Structure 1
Amino acid sequence: MSGFGPSSTSAKRAAADPTKHVNYVLGMVLGVDDFIQDFAYQSERDRWQARDLLGYGTAWGLAVTTGLGARGPEVRVSPGTALSPRGQLVRVTPAQCASLNDWLKAQGAAIEPNPDEIVRVWVVLSYRECLTDPVPVPGEPCRSEDDAMAPSRVTDDFKLELRLTPPQEPTEEQAVRDLVRWLRTHVVPVGDDTPSGDVTSEADFLTALRAAVVQPVPLAPETDWLDDAAAPMKVPATQVEGYLRAALRVWVTELRALWRPNWLGEAQGCQQPVSAEPDSDVDCVLLAAVDVHVSKELGSTDWVVKAEAPLPIHEDERPYLLHLRLLQEWALAGPLWDTSAVHHPPTLPAYQIVAAGTLPLASFEDSGVQGYNNLRIDKASKGFARLTFDGYQYKPEAWQYVVKVTLQEDEGLGLALPTVTVAGLDSDGIRLRLREREDPMDETSMASMAVIVEVSQYFAGAGPTLKTARAPEPPAPPAPPSRAASRTRRSGGGR
């Protein structure tokens, strides 16, 4: 081997400033740097427009499923497109699949299942590019064959990954969800006959919105960026549009900047060069999370997918974008809700069923049984079970829940006087107490039973709260009721 290696006199180029484009002047000699600069400007403006005006997430396709392939259980992703947080379009085609057993083996000691031997696997998509189409290029003597060729094209590509940790969700995505949730739960339209002292002014409404902001802390595991502790505010039904317009103006001019990632930095091109943020793991799109039941085969140190175990897919946190044509059709021909109750509120507070279902107490974590509005049991032990559902919030000062629950017992179980009662409600959920006579029901008996539940909700602001409400005394009957009537009344009105 000779001691001569390839040499080059070219200097390393600085990153192109994405805020500058070439000022073409007659007689200018254009070089590679000029074309790179112009491309950087044009491509960055496309990404800038996409991330500031559209958002990010799945645009179409990219459905995540599981199945059995040639190498065992696998995760599959269908063709589709997405927009990354940085505004980069990502296209996946054809359909992709990944063997879970091969992936688990490659992770080695990094696999740390929970006590139930479940590993949560995150399916993540990001953009990448690759160099293609090599062509001969002039150069210096003593070059290798590789140095005599250079790629002439840059091709858009994608990267699909299975990860053991979730990607860092853009803070702005969390803030957008919190803003919409805050507006939905804090605006209570009322009629014109509502006393003026009970109505919240627009200025006080905006003050409450600003006061609800939780200041972002870098890398802090916050889950709420708008504190919803404030009680719902009564707004004149005829002025709801004006209040919402004012709230969205505050979001655009004041609040969004708190959580918006600054991909271009603080510099301005006329004063100093702008250097865009480098690519990072933050610029990716979460597609789904898959719970993988794992085990170790006899004599092996590698984790594998447990045979015939389910592979539940979770997409609750998946961001997605609705295209303009769908939003247009929704606005023009989508479902319309009856607004008569808003403009002409009833005397009694609004009352509605918010969750219901029949839920088995056995293997509640793996049964997959869920009720209306995702009513589910999230915790159970001897003589105890806890319920929750989508949108559950404990706010007795704002609204009340009415819980109706009874037991469903397997035929032949033969328990002596089994009962279920509501032990209380708190921020974690609805607590149920299960007893057999006076003792807590054992887990063996609970495993053969289910609870039939219906949860209703009414706003407490329009009437007395649950703590102070008292049913009116029934009027005295003119004559003692018959024995048959008494039986009917007891059986129909008992608790």
Structure 2
Amino acid sequence: MTDAVSPLAHDAETGPLLRVTFQPGMLLGVEAMQAEQAYHRRRLNRHGRLLHGYGTLYGLLVTLEPAAATLPLRLVVHPGLALDALGRELLLSEPYGVDLPAWLAEQGAAALAAFAVPADAAEGAPRTLTLEVAVRYADCEQGLQPVLAAATNASTDAVAASRAGEAVELLLRGADPNPPPPPAPPASLPTAVEQARLDNADAATRTVLQAQLDRLHRTRGLDALPALGADSAELTLARLTLRLTTLTAPQPAPADIDLDNLVRPFLDVAVEP
């Protein structure tokens, strides 16, 4: 699998689209083919991001599967579909599980302490640890085929992926138990005529007009549209609160974990799958 953030090179662009033009006698190489794909991909992503928003469409339920005879306590994300904040589809076609005790042990006590409350609790004292489950789009290289080597080939045949499959990466990370509120949007400054329209409208119409006015002023004072970064590529699914007495390879039981799937954003669907 390639670097999960690498698709951001084109998926996060907010500038004008560029469409390849085909002319008789024009030489077209790899760059032109990539630009042709990027045009359609960015157009589709922009449609999804701006007209539909982001969030879960259906599924992607996060559950705790208790330890069985041969399996440890697992955190499982079930199949489903979502859109991230870049407008990309996140399709998980089968369950995805994580060995929770093994993941906690691998992080180490020092890393977990940054998300524990109280952070300076003595060994054996009760504390809570907040974790977040998220998903992120990733390209998955498939169909390796021989290619002409671009540089000196030392000893192996040069190969490259002929297909880039759309995949989903599961993220489990520490989370701030009290995240700060999102920044306030720019204040709307209606003109005298606009203010009169607001004042003369009934309550329901005034709410609609105010929302439209807020959208008009969202980019006021900006030199360019806000950049979309790695944070926009990650979609939160659930939040876990663990009650622990140690951060050194903890072994929590299901009764020690509170799981909240409703912290995620949702999208309305016109047709049930």
Q: Is 2:84–2:232's contact at 8 Å kept on the other side of the alignment?
A: no
Q: Is 1:295–1:306's contact at 8 Å kept on the other side of the alignment?
A: no
Structure 1 pair 71–36 and aligned structure 2 pair: CA distance change class (3 A): same
Q: Is 2:130–2:176's contact at 8 Å kept on the other side of the alignment?
A: no
Ranked by relative contact order (alpha carbons within 8 Å, sequence separation 6 or more), the top structure is 2
Residue number in structure 1 paired with 2:80: 80
Structure 1 pair 171–38 and aligned structure 2 pair: CA distance change class (3 A): farther
Note the C-alpha offset of 1:42: 0.9
Structure 1 pair 308–28 and aligned structure 2 pair: CA distance change class (3 A): closer
The one-letter amino acid paired with 2:111 is A
1:309 counterpart = 2:271? no
Residue number in structure 1 paired with 2:238: 288
Residue number in structure 1 paired with 2:136: 126
2-side partners of 1:289 and 1:82: how far apart? Answer: 17
2-side partners of 1:281 and 1:146: how far apart? Answer: 38
Q: Is 1:59–1:83's contact at 8 Å kept on the other side of the alignment?
A: yes
1-side partners of 2:146 and 2:181: how far apart? Answer: 43
2-side partners of 1:324 and 1:171: how far apart? Answer: 29
Q: Secondary structure at the match of 1:111?
A: helix
Note the C-alpha offset of 1:317: 2.7
Structure 1 pair 295–72 and aligned structure 2 pair: CA distance change class (3 A): farther
2-side partners of 1:308 and 1:253: how far apart? Answer: 48
Residue number in structure 2 paired with 1:39: 37
Q: Secondary structure at the match of 2:268?
A: coil
Note the C-alpha offset of 1:285: 0.8
Note the C-alpha offset of 1:141: 8.2
Residue number in structure 1 paired with 2:189: none
Residue number in structure 1 paired with 2:93: 93
Note the C-alpha offset of 1:248: 2.9
Note the C-alpha offset of 1:277: 5.2
Structure 1 pair 313–146 and aligned structure 2 pair: CA distance change class (3 A): farther
Structure 1 pair 242–18 and aligned structure 2 pair: CA distance change class (3 A): closer
Q: Output one character per residue of 1:176-214: Cα deviation in whole Å (capped at 9) or x when no partner.
A: xxxxxxxxxxxxxxxxxxxxxxxxxx837948xxxxxxx
Residue number in structure 2 paired with 1:481: none
The one-letter amino acid paired with 2:133 is V
1:64 counterpart = 2:62? yes
The one-letter amino acid paired with 2:85 is P
Q: Output one character per residue of 1:340-389: Cα deviation in whole Å (capped at 9) or x when no partner.
A: xxxxxxxxxxxxxxxxxxxxxxxxxxxxxxxxxxxxxxxxxxxxxxxxxx
2-side partners of 1:37 and 1:170: how far apart? Answer: 38
1:317-466 correspondence runs (5 A): 317-325=263-271
Task: Provide runs of 4+ in structure 1 moved above 4 Å.
Answer: 15-18, 166-172, 204-207, 276-279
Residue number in structure 2 paired with 1:110: 111
Q: Output one character per residue of 1:213-238: Cα deviation in whole Å (capped at 9) or x when no partner.
A: xxxxxxxxxxxxxxxxxxxxxx98xx
Residue number in structure 1 paired with 2:195: 203
Identity value in percent = 26
The one-letter amino acid paired with 1:247 is Q
The one-letter amino acid paired with 2:36 is D
Q: Is 1:122–1:166's contact at 8 Å kept on the other side of the alignment?
A: no
Structure 1 pair 124–166 and aligned structure 2 pair: CA distance change class (3 A): farther
Q: Secondary structure at the match of 1:87?
A: coil
Q: Secondary structure at the match of 1:322?
A: coil
Residue number in structure 1 paired with 2:168: 158
1-side partners of 2:71 and 2:152: how far apart? Answer: 47
1-side partners of 2:23 and 2:254: how far apart? Answer: 69
Query: Normalization by structure 2: what TM-score?
Result: 0.74
Residue number in structure 2 paired with 1:139: 149
The one-letter amino acid paired with 1:62 is L
Decide which structure has the larger Cα Rg and report it: 1
The one-letter amino acid paired with 2:112 is I
Structure 1 pair 71–166 and aligned structure 2 pair: CA distance change class (3 A): farther
Note the C-alpha offset of 1:96: 1.1
Q: Secondary structure at the match of 1:304?
A: coil
Count residues in correspondence. Answer: 239
What is the root-mean-square deviation in Å for CA atoms of aligned residues? 3.4
2-side partners of 1:61 and 1:318: how far apart? Answer: 12
Q: Is 1:124–1:160's contact at 8 Å kept on the other side of the alignment?
A: yes
Q: Is 1:72–1:101's contact at 8 Å kept on the other side of the alignment?
A: yes
Note the C-alpha offset of 1:97: 1.2
Structure 1 pair 78–22 and aligned structure 2 pair: CA distance change class (3 A): same
Q: Is 1:292–1:305's contact at 8 Å kept on the other side of the alignment?
A: no
2-side partners of 1:101 and 1:68: how far apart? Answer: 12
Note the C-alpha offset of 1:100: 1.2
2-side partners of 1:120 and 1:39: how far apart? Answer: 40
1-side partners of 2:261 and 2:78: how far apart? Answer: 15
The one-letter amino acid paired with 2:239 is A
2-side partners of 1:169 and 1:63: how far apart? Answer: 25
1-side partners of 2:180 and 2:148: how far apart? Answer: 46
2-side partners of 1:305 and 1:78: how far apart? Answer: 23
1:257 counterpart = 2:219? yes
Note the C-alpha offset of 1:281: 3.5
Q: 2:206 aligns with which of 243, 263, 268?
A: 243
